[in-house]
Amino acid sequence: MQYYLGLDIGSISTKGVIINEKGEITAGEYIWTQGNPIKAVKDLLIKLKGKLKDEDIEILGAGTTGSARKLIGVMINADVVKNEITAHAVGTLFVYPDVKTILEIGGQDSKIIILEDGIVIDYAMNTLCAAGTGSFLSSQAKRLDIPVEKFGKVALSSDSPVKIAARCTVFAESDLVHKAQIGHKKEDIVAGLCRAVVTNYLNNVGKGKSIKSPIVFQGGVSKNTGVIRAFQTEIGEDILVDKNSHLMGALGAALLAKKQEKHNGFNFNITDISFETKGKECSGCANNCEIICFYKNGKQIDAWGNRCEKGI
């Protein structure tokens, strides 16, 4: 049986899956990127290999997506490097062929994808403000001294969520402190935060979009049951959340790699290879482009960032 690797390297988390020729996930993993995507991918691959029952499994091809998709695509010699919209759509359609709306909230960005007959017809992303994302919820969880993993359970215990301004993180934090100081219960504040995340998402990312059922919610925040309930309340529809909702981008990348006619192959020995990046500023013209040079065992294998032929 042939296998394929899919990696989704985000600013907050790095996700990976290994699928078989049927598209079934044989191994999946989710770890924090911690500002070092190269190390995160190496750590992730070690964890994925450890989950394989047969250590002699051959990975025929690989795909990458996420904000560091190009960097890691070069590192692993990926067959395909795709944007998040395409990867998430492909992964979700494989599990939910009839999906019409994909809601995705990650660590630092969020997106909405509108589909019709299995084709993406519209989408939007919010990457300018962290309000309403996973990092926003994590910071508020620390402020309230509640483990973010328990945020959803605490929110579900509330009968009267408070209104919290979430148009930006600064206003939200200020409003949260104010609500706590005047005596609102912690569970009501948590439920209010979950609802604020949803209203912020719908008023910004989802503004003007036709949200139709079936609706699939994914990304790290989809594990928060409080946010799921808030979406169901605001939209008035059932929200589908897959057990692998946090891995859909990686699944899509693996499926896209599987579709390629030719494959580069993949070897787990890549974790023993030294990779390094160095930034340079090109002075060849007035653009002063920031060039990223990529090295494998001390030898430059690629570079990007230049906007003219004078670049390195």
Buried b (16+ CB within 10 A) or exposed e, 234-265: ebeeebbbbebbbbbbbbbbbbbbbebeebee
Q: Is the pLDDT of residue 31 over 70?
A: yes
Cα dihedral 191→194→200→206 (10° resolution)? -130
Structural contact between residues 256 and 19, judged by C-beta atoms closer than 8 angstroms: no
CATH match of 97-241 with 3.90.550.10? no
The closest alpha carbon to 29, from 43, 152, 290, 178, belongs to 43
pLDDT in tens, 155-211: 898 888 888 876 666 777 788 788 888 888 888 988 888 888 888 889 888 989 999
AA identity, residue 45: L
pLDDT in tens, 85-118: 999 999 999 999 999 999 998 877 889 999 999 9
Tokens of 306: 């230049």
> What's the mean pLDDT in 272-298?
89
CA–CA dist 153, 226 (Å, integer): 7
**Residue 167: per-residue pLDDT:** 67
> What's the mean pLDDT in 256-277?
93
pLDDT in tens, 212-247: 999 999 988 898 899 999 999 999 999 999 999 999
> What's the mean pLDDT in 124-133?
72
**Residue 220: per-residue pLDDT:** 85
pLDDT in tens, 38-72: 999 999 999 999 998 776 788 999 999 998 999 99
Is the pTM higher than 0.85? The answer reads yes
**Residue 230: per-residue pLDDT:** 92
Locate the domains of the chain by residue range: 3-89+250-273, 97-241, 274-312
**Residue 127: per-residue pLDDT:** 61
CATH of domain 3-89+250-273: 3.30.420.40
**Residue 210: per-residue pLDDT:** 92
Structural contact between residues 40 and 263, judged by C-beta atoms closer than 8 angstroms: no
* Residues with Cβ within 8 Å of residue 102, at least 6 apart in sequence: 88, 89, 92, 111, 112, 113, 114, 115, 215, 216, 218
CATH topology agreement for domains 3-89+250-273 and 97-241: yes
Work out the mean pLDDT of the chain and round it to a whole number.
89
